Structure 1
Amino acid sequence: MSRDVRRLLIVHHTASPALRELFETVRRGAATDEVEGVEVVARAALRATAVDVFEADGVILGTPVNIGYMSGALKHFFDTVYYPCLEETRRLPYALYVHGNNDATGAVRAVESIAAGLGWERVHRPVTVTGAPGKEDLTACWELGATVAATISPG
Protein backbone atom coordinates (compact mmCIF):
# COMPACT_ATOMS: atom_id res chain seq x y z
CA MET A 1 0.00 0.00 0.00
CA SER A 2 1.26 3.46 -0.84
CA ARG A 3 2.17 5.60 2.13
CA ASP A 4 -0.05 8.26 0.55
CA VAL A 5 -2.91 6.28 2.09
CA ARG A 6 -3.03 5.42 5.78
CA ARG A 7 -5.06 2.56 7.21
CA LEU A 8 -7.46 2.99 10.11
CA LEU A 9 -8.50 -0.32 11.68
CA ILE A 10 -11.78 -0.55 13.59
CA VAL A 11 -11.81 -3.63 15.84
CA HIS A 12 -15.29 -4.10 17.21
CA HIS A 13 -17.63 -6.48 18.96
CA THR A 14 -21.05 -5.43 17.72
CA ALA A 15 -23.47 -7.57 19.66
CA SER A 16 -26.57 -5.37 19.81
CA PRO A 17 -28.55 -2.86 17.75
CA ALA A 18 -27.19 -0.03 19.93
CA LEU A 19 -23.61 -1.12 19.26
CA ARG A 20 -24.37 -1.45 15.54
CA GLU A 21 -25.54 2.18 15.55
CA LEU A 22 -22.39 3.33 17.37
CA PHE A 23 -20.13 1.30 15.08
CA GLU A 24 -21.75 2.63 11.90
CA THR A 25 -21.50 6.19 13.20
CA VAL A 26 -17.82 5.79 14.14
CA ARG A 27 -17.14 4.32 10.69
CA ARG A 28 -18.94 7.22 8.97
CA GLY A 29 -16.88 9.71 10.97
CA ALA A 30 -13.65 7.89 10.13
CA ALA A 31 -14.55 7.86 6.43
CA THR A 32 -15.64 11.51 6.25
CA ASP A 33 -14.75 13.36 3.06
CA GLU A 34 -13.21 16.06 5.27
CA VAL A 35 -10.21 13.78 5.91
CA GLU A 36 -8.19 12.59 2.94
CA GLY A 37 -5.83 9.68 2.49
CA VAL A 38 -7.33 7.29 5.04
CA GLU A 39 -8.65 3.82 4.24
CA VAL A 40 -11.05 2.50 6.89
CA VAL A 41 -10.95 -1.26 7.52
CA ALA A 42 -13.34 -2.91 10.01
CA ARG A 43 -12.70 -6.28 11.61
CA ALA A 44 -14.85 -8.17 14.09
CA ALA A 45 -12.85 -8.63 17.29
CA LEU A 46 -12.89 -12.43 16.93
CA ARG A 47 -11.40 -12.17 13.40
CA ALA A 48 -8.87 -9.35 13.80
CA THR A 49 -5.24 -10.48 13.80
CA ALA A 50 -1.79 -9.16 14.57
CA VAL A 51 -1.27 -8.67 10.82
CA ASP A 52 -4.28 -6.33 10.80
CA VAL A 53 -2.66 -4.31 13.58
CA PHE A 54 0.77 -4.28 11.88
CA GLU A 55 -0.86 -2.89 8.73
CA ALA A 56 -2.74 -0.19 10.65
CA ASP A 57 -1.66 3.38 11.24
CA GLY A 58 -4.36 3.81 13.89
CA VAL A 59 -6.95 1.69 15.70
CA ILE A 60 -10.44 2.29 17.02
CA LEU A 61 -11.76 -0.27 19.51
CA GLY A 62 -15.46 -0.85 20.15
CA THR A 63 -16.95 -3.07 22.84
CA PRO A 64 -20.02 -3.69 24.93
CA VAL A 65 -19.71 -3.76 28.68
CA ASN A 66 -20.13 -7.35 29.87
CA ILE A 67 -20.35 -7.81 33.62
CA GLY A 68 -18.37 -4.60 34.17
CA TYR A 69 -15.61 -5.56 31.72
CA MET A 70 -14.86 -5.43 27.99
CA SER A 71 -16.42 -8.18 25.87
CA GLY A 72 -14.75 -11.57 25.74
CA ALA A 73 -14.32 -11.04 22.00
CA LEU A 74 -12.25 -7.87 22.49
CA LYS A 75 -10.27 -9.57 25.25
CA HIS A 76 -9.59 -12.44 22.82
CA PHE A 77 -8.32 -9.88 20.29
CA PHE A 78 -5.91 -8.47 22.85
CA ASP A 79 -4.80 -11.97 23.93
CA THR A 80 -4.09 -12.80 20.27
CA VAL A 81 -2.17 -9.64 19.34
CA TYR A 82 -0.48 -8.57 22.57
CA TYR A 83 2.89 -10.29 22.34
CA PRO A 84 3.27 -10.23 18.55
CA CYS A 85 2.50 -6.48 18.56
CA LEU A 86 4.21 -5.50 21.80
CA GLU A 87 7.37 -3.99 20.34
CA GLU A 88 6.36 -3.12 16.78
CA THR A 89 3.20 -1.10 17.40
CA ARG A 90 4.36 1.28 20.14
CA ARG A 91 2.91 4.78 19.77
CA LEU A 92 0.04 3.46 17.61
CA PRO A 93 -2.80 6.01 17.87
CA TYR A 94 -6.00 4.53 19.26
CA ALA A 95 -9.43 5.44 20.58
CA LEU A 96 -12.26 3.55 22.27
CA TYR A 97 -16.05 3.53 22.30
CA VAL A 98 -18.04 1.49 24.81
CA HIS A 99 -21.73 0.70 25.25
CA GLY A 100 -23.34 -0.57 28.44
CA ASN A 101 -26.57 -0.55 30.35
CA ASN A 102 -25.00 1.23 33.30
CA ASP A 103 -21.43 1.77 34.55
CA ALA A 104 -18.68 1.25 31.97
CA THR A 105 -15.75 2.28 34.19
CA GLY A 106 -14.30 -1.23 34.48
CA ALA A 107 -14.41 -1.87 30.72
CA VAL A 108 -12.73 1.46 29.93
CA ARG A 109 -10.09 0.92 32.60
CA ALA A 110 -9.31 -2.59 31.31
CA VAL A 111 -8.94 -1.53 27.66
CA GLU A 112 -6.84 1.51 28.58
CA SER A 113 -4.60 -0.64 30.77
CA ILE A 114 -3.91 -3.12 27.97
CA ALA A 115 -3.41 -0.34 25.41
CA ALA A 116 -0.94 1.35 27.77
CA GLY A 117 0.90 -1.94 28.14
CA LEU A 118 1.19 -2.09 24.36
CA GLY A 119 2.48 1.47 24.34
CA TRP A 120 -0.42 2.71 22.22
CA GLU A 121 -1.28 6.42 22.40
CA ARG A 122 -4.84 7.48 23.09
CA VAL A 123 -5.82 10.30 20.71
CA HIS A 124 -9.44 10.79 21.81
CA ARG A 125 -11.16 10.39 25.14
CA PRO A 126 -13.25 7.21 25.36
CA VAL A 127 -16.86 7.59 24.28
CA THR A 128 -19.06 5.82 26.81
CA VAL A 129 -22.73 5.33 26.01
CA THR A 130 -25.25 3.90 28.45
CA GLY A 131 -28.69 2.87 27.35
CA ALA A 132 -30.09 3.84 23.97
CA PRO A 133 -27.71 6.11 22.02
CA GLY A 134 -28.92 9.69 21.81
CA LYS A 135 -27.98 12.46 19.40
CA GLU A 136 -25.07 13.63 21.60
CA ASP A 137 -23.74 10.07 21.82
CA LEU A 138 -23.83 9.66 18.06
CA THR A 139 -22.15 13.02 17.53
CA ALA A 140 -19.40 11.97 19.96
CA CYS A 141 -18.93 8.69 18.06
CA TRP A 142 -18.74 10.47 14.70
CA GLU A 143 -16.17 12.88 16.15
CA LEU A 144 -14.14 9.99 17.58
CA GLY A 145 -13.91 8.37 14.14
CA ALA A 146 -13.09 11.64 12.40
CA THR A 147 -10.47 12.59 15.00
CA VAL A 148 -8.56 9.33 14.69
CA ALA A 149 -8.72 9.53 10.90
CA ALA A 150 -7.45 13.13 10.96
CA THR A 151 -4.67 12.11 13.36
CA ILE A 152 -3.27 9.55 10.93
CA SER A 153 -4.06 11.38 7.68
CA PRO A 154 -0.99 12.03 5.53
CA GLY A 155 -2.36 15.46 4.58
Structure 2
Amino acid sequence: MSRLLVVHHSPTPRLRTISAAVLRGARTAESEGVEIIESAALDASAEDLLNADAVVFGTTANFGYISGALKHFFDTTFNETHAQTKGRPFSYWIHGSHDTTGAERAMQSITTGYGLRLAATPVVFTGDIDDEHLARAEEMGASVAWTLTI
Protein backbone atom coordinates (compact mmCIF):
# COMPACT_ATOMS: atom_id res chain seq x y z
CA MET A 1 0.00 0.00 0.00
CA SER A 2 1.29 3.47 -0.90
CA ARG A 3 1.44 6.10 1.81
CA LEU A 4 0.80 9.87 1.56
CA LEU A 5 2.01 11.94 4.51
CA VAL A 6 0.30 15.28 5.15
CA VAL A 7 2.45 17.39 7.49
CA HIS A 8 0.99 20.75 8.43
CA HIS A 9 0.85 23.57 10.93
CA SER A 10 -2.80 24.59 11.23
CA PRO A 11 -3.06 26.33 14.61
CA THR A 12 -6.58 27.77 14.26
CA PRO A 13 -9.98 26.39 13.27
CA ARG A 14 -9.93 28.67 10.23
CA LEU A 15 -6.61 27.22 9.03
CA ARG A 16 -7.74 23.69 9.77
CA THR A 17 -10.34 24.14 7.03
CA ILE A 18 -7.45 24.20 4.53
CA SER A 19 -5.80 21.04 5.84
CA ALA A 20 -9.24 19.37 5.99
CA ALA A 21 -9.78 20.20 2.31
CA VAL A 22 -6.37 18.74 1.39
CA LEU A 23 -7.18 15.57 3.32
CA ARG A 24 -10.65 15.31 1.79
CA GLY A 25 -9.08 15.42 -1.67
CA ALA A 26 -6.33 12.97 -0.78
CA ARG A 27 -8.83 10.47 0.58
CA THR A 28 -10.34 10.07 -2.88
CA ALA A 29 -7.39 7.77 -3.62
CA GLU A 30 -7.83 5.56 -0.53
CA SER A 31 -9.94 3.05 -2.42
CA GLU A 32 -7.00 2.63 -4.80
CA GLY A 33 -4.64 1.55 -2.02
CA VAL A 34 -3.30 4.90 -0.82
CA GLU A 35 -3.04 5.27 2.93
CA ILE A 36 -3.32 8.86 4.17
CA ILE A 37 -1.28 9.79 7.26
CA GLU A 38 -1.89 13.20 8.81
CA SER A 39 0.55 14.71 11.27
CA ALA A 40 0.96 18.04 12.98
CA ALA A 41 4.34 19.51 12.06
CA LEU A 42 5.60 19.32 15.66
CA ASP A 43 4.61 15.64 15.90
CA ALA A 44 5.88 14.36 12.55
CA SER A 45 9.18 12.49 12.52
CA ALA A 46 11.92 11.42 10.17
CA GLU A 47 10.46 7.92 10.31
CA ASP A 48 7.10 9.27 9.11
CA LEU A 49 8.80 10.92 6.15
CA LEU A 50 10.91 7.87 5.32
CA ASN A 51 7.79 5.68 5.34
CA ALA A 52 5.90 8.02 3.00
CA ASP A 53 5.79 7.63 -0.77
CA ALA A 54 4.58 11.22 -1.23
CA VAL A 55 4.05 14.23 1.00
CA VAL A 56 1.98 17.39 1.27
CA PHE A 57 3.18 20.23 3.49
CA GLY A 58 0.97 22.96 4.88
CA THR A 59 1.90 26.12 6.72
CA THR A 60 1.01 29.60 7.67
CA ALA A 61 3.23 32.44 6.48
CA ASN A 62 4.48 34.07 9.68
CA PHE A 63 6.61 37.20 9.57
CA GLY A 64 7.35 36.43 5.92
CA TYR A 65 8.46 32.84 6.50
CA ILE A 66 7.09 29.34 6.99
CA SER A 67 5.81 28.54 10.46
CA GLY A 68 8.34 27.70 13.15
CA ALA A 69 6.62 24.34 13.59
CA LEU A 70 7.15 23.29 9.97
CA LYS A 71 10.68 24.71 9.98
CA HIS A 72 11.36 22.55 13.07
CA PHE A 73 10.11 19.49 11.16
CA PHE A 74 12.48 20.26 8.29
CA ASP A 75 15.39 20.98 10.64
CA THR A 76 14.98 17.73 12.55
CA THR A 77 14.40 15.42 9.57
CA PHE A 78 16.68 16.70 6.82
CA ASN A 79 19.96 14.96 7.67
CA GLU A 80 18.30 11.61 8.24
CA THR A 81 16.00 11.66 5.21
CA HIS A 82 17.10 13.85 2.31
CA ALA A 83 19.09 11.14 0.53
CA GLN A 84 16.05 8.81 0.53
CA THR A 85 13.38 11.37 -0.45
CA LYS A 86 14.84 12.26 -3.84
CA GLY A 87 12.19 12.11 -6.53
CA ARG A 88 9.22 11.61 -4.23
CA PRO A 89 6.12 13.57 -5.25
CA PHE A 90 4.99 16.48 -3.10
CA SER A 91 3.08 19.72 -3.00
CA TYR A 92 2.15 22.30 -0.40
CA TRP A 93 -0.18 25.00 0.76
CA ILE A 94 0.75 28.32 2.34
CA HIS A 95 -1.68 30.84 3.78
CA GLY A 96 -0.68 34.31 4.94
CA SER A 97 -2.47 37.37 6.16
CA HIS A 98 -0.52 39.79 3.98
CA ASP A 99 2.45 38.21 2.18
CA THR A 100 3.72 34.73 1.37
CA THR A 101 6.80 35.58 -0.71
CA GLY A 102 9.44 34.57 1.87
CA ALA A 103 7.53 31.44 2.83
CA GLU A 104 7.27 30.41 -0.82
CA ARG A 105 11.01 30.91 -1.36
CA ALA A 106 11.77 28.91 1.78
CA MET A 107 9.47 26.06 0.76
CA GLN A 108 11.02 25.89 -2.71
CA SER A 109 14.55 25.96 -1.34
CA ILE A 110 13.94 23.39 1.38
CA THR A 111 12.07 20.93 -0.82
CA THR A 112 14.78 21.25 -3.47
CA GLY A 113 17.28 20.23 -0.78
CA TYR A 114 15.19 17.15 -0.05
CA GLY A 115 15.12 16.36 -3.76
CA LEU A 116 11.33 16.21 -3.83
CA ARG A 117 9.44 16.41 -7.13
CA LEU A 118 6.55 18.87 -7.38
CA ALA A 119 3.50 16.80 -8.33
CA ALA A 120 0.68 19.35 -8.12
CA THR A 121 0.33 23.10 -8.24
CA PRO A 122 0.81 24.53 -4.74
CA VAL A 123 -2.02 26.47 -3.14
CA VAL A 124 -0.64 29.80 -1.95
CA PHE A 125 -2.77 32.79 -0.99
CA THR A 126 -3.38 35.63 1.43
CA GLY A 127 -6.47 37.00 3.10
CA ASP A 128 -9.76 35.33 3.73
CA ILE A 129 -10.21 31.63 3.04
CA ASP A 130 -13.01 31.10 0.55
CA ASP A 131 -14.60 28.20 -1.31
CA GLU A 132 -12.27 28.64 -4.30
CA HIS A 133 -9.19 28.28 -2.05
CA LEU A 134 -10.66 25.18 -0.43
CA ALA A 135 -11.51 23.66 -3.83
CA ARG A 136 -7.92 24.23 -5.00
CA ALA A 137 -6.59 22.68 -1.77
CA GLU A 138 -8.84 19.65 -2.22
CA GLU A 139 -7.73 19.25 -5.84
CA MET A 140 -4.06 19.53 -4.86
CA GLY A 141 -4.45 16.86 -2.16
CA ALA A 142 -6.20 14.56 -4.63
CA SER A 143 -3.59 15.15 -7.32
CA VAL A 144 -0.67 14.22 -5.07
CA ALA A 145 -2.49 11.14 -3.75
CA TRP A 146 -3.40 9.96 -7.24
CA THR A 147 0.26 10.10 -8.33
CA LEU A 148 0.67 7.07 -6.07
CA THR A 149 -1.88 5.03 -8.02
CA ILE A 150 -0.17 5.31 -11.37
For the aligned pair, the TM-score class normalised by the smaller chain equals over 0.9
Q: For 2:82 and 2:15, how far apart are their aligned partners in 1? A: 28
Amino acid at match of 1:30: A
Q: For 1:60 and 1:33, how far apart are their aligned partners in 2? A: 14
Structure 2 gaps, min length 5: none
TM superposition shift of 1:150: 0.5
Q: Alpha carbons of 1:33 and 1:122: their partners in 2 closer, same or farther (altered >3 Å)?
A: closer
- What is the aligned length? 150
Paired residue for 1:131? 127
Paired residue for 1:80? 76
Match of 1:26 among 2, 22, 25: 22
Paired residue for 1:121? 117
Once the two structures are overlaid, the 10-residue window that deviates more, 20-29 or 117-126, is 117-126
Q: Does the CA contact (< 8 Å) of 1:124 and 1:148 recur in 2? A: yes
Match of 1:39 among 26, 35, 40: 35
TM superposition shift of 1:127: 0.3
Please say if 1:105 is aligned against 2:101.
yes
TM superposition shift of 1:39: 0.7
Structure 1 gaps, min length 5: none
Higher helix fraction (1 or 2): 2
Secondary structure at 1:48 match in 2:
coil
Once the two structures are overlaid, the 10-residue window that deviates more, 82-91 or 21-30, is 82-91
TM superposition shift of 1:131: 1.8
Paired residue for 1:149? 145
The ranges of structure 1 where at least 4 consecutive aligned residues each deviate by more than 2 angstroms after the TM superposition are: none
Paired residue for 1:51? 47
TM superposition shift of 1:129: 2.6
Secondary structure at 1:103 match in 2:
coil
Q: For 1:28 and 1:36, how far apart are their aligned partners in 2? A: 15
